[in-house]
Amino acid sequence: METNRKALADEYISLKSNYLALGKAHEQEVAKNEELSIELLNVVHTRHSLPQLRNNYSQVLANESLAELERVRAVVHHLSARKVKPEDIVASEHERRKVERHLLGNQDHIKVEIEKMKRTCDSQQQKLEERVVAMGKELQEAKRAIRNTQHKLAEQSAVLFTSQSQLKEVEAENSQLQLQLKELNQEYRYRLTQYIKDLAEYMDSKSNAAKGPSKEPADHAHMKCFVDSMLKDIRAAYKSREQQLAGAARGYKKRMQNLVRRHENLLIAYRMQREQIQSQGISEMDPGPPEFHFTITDSELLTSTIQELNQLREDKAKLETELNELKEKKRLHESSALGPFQRKLDEEGWAEIRKQLREFTHTTQEDLERERSQLLIRAIMAEEQLLELQEYVDKHLARYKQEILRLRKLVGIEAPRAFSAGASDTYLMQKPKRTISHEL
């Protein structure tokens, strides 16, 4: 049974490590998926803005050509409107032709530049399309990997849940077997004591029959006195060892309670520091993971109040995760459409929600911590009273037993045979008043 328990514990540890590793891989895949989505949005936005830039540039060049042509026409019209000399007309005609040739050359150059820009834009657009296709494939692969990881996580969670239930069953069975073993040890110890007493009485009676009735009665019970003293020493040693183990168990329990209390104080300080960092709104400073990641998971060290606190911390961590995801989606969805005033209003709304959430969590945790401290004080007082009553009962019960034995010896009543080794079937086992498991 101990081997099966160790094997299940090892399997539980390995499954838990695999579960944590798969969880980290899943978080990495989700982060990569978000990065690819953001990059894909940027590429689509760039692709959408390229034709507009190209049209703007072409329109600017055309406007410059039209402006130059209008200027030349205005000069020609101005010269033709005035009375000029024939040589001036020839010179102006020559200048006009020169300007027209210059304009025609500029138009050809502009057309060449436009063609170059078109080819450049087409090549860039083709590259962007290829990159979008490649990123789409990577996104599909990332989604497929995330689905596989989620499937593996679900399988590991099912196996982990099954192992935990099996471990609890084995622990309960082990506790029951330990209790049965303890009861059998007590029964066998009682039988052995009766065997030794019966053997001592038999030896004394045989020696009395062999020596005759002339001996004193004190000499006849030599073997019984020796056995009684030996059993008394054994009981004293056993009781001393039991008290020593009980004291060690109580000390260990107190140390673990102090450790849990210090751990809770550290968690409270960590929560306050994390809330201060979040309230300042500094995006460059990482506030750290939620306090639920640092809670103690051993159920033997946790009281019902601490377990309830851990459940609230887990719910708070889930709410924070969902809140961050919604904020990120909202920022990506409305970053291009919202104005600065609307963004400011949204930030103020989220700040108010975070403030209310912190106040609710702080108030709830204060109430639970206050209730926990009161319950701890009551539990410590009850434990001290129980120990005092247990010591009082043990001490007076032993004294009453000694008094009963002394009175029986004085009256001359022998112990009933129902308590002998031959009548062990009718023996009613007395429950131990103080055990190690009870102290734990």
Domains of the chain: 1-187 (1.10.287.1490), 239-440 (no CATH)
pLDDT at position 19 is 78
Highest mean pLDDT range out of 41-55, 98-112, 339-353?
Answer: 41-55
The more confidently predicted of residues 174 and 399 is: 174
pLDDT exceeds cutoff 80 at 119: yes
pLDDT at position 399 is 72
The more confidently predicted of residues 431 and 93 is: 93
**pLDDT confidence bin for 420, thresholds 50/70/90:** very low
Mean pLDDT of 303-315: 77
Q: What is the pLDDT of residues 144-194, one digit of tens each?
A: 888 888 888 888 888 888 888 888 888 888 888 888 888 888 888 888 878
Q: What is the pLDDT of residues 240-297, one digit of tens each?
A: 888 888 888 888 888 888 888 888 888 888 888 877 777 776 666 677 777 777 777 7
pLDDT above 90 covers what percent of the chain?
Answer: 0
**pLDDT confidence bin for 62, thresholds 50/70/90:** low
pLDDT exceeds cutoff 80 at 372: no
Highest mean pLDDT range out of 162-176, 197-211, 387-401?
Answer: 162-176
Mean pLDDT (the chain, rounded):
72
- Stretch among 141-155, 303-317, 418-432 having the lowest mean pLDDT: 418-432
Nearest 5 degrees, angle CA 66-CA 70-CA 71? 120
**pLDDT confidence bin for 95, thresholds 50/70/90:** low
Q: What is the pLDDT of residues 325-355, one digit of tens each?
A: 787 777 777 665 555 555 555 667 677 777 7
**pLDDT confidence bin for 432, thresholds 50/70/90:** very low
pLDDT at position 51 is 67
- pTM value? 0.35
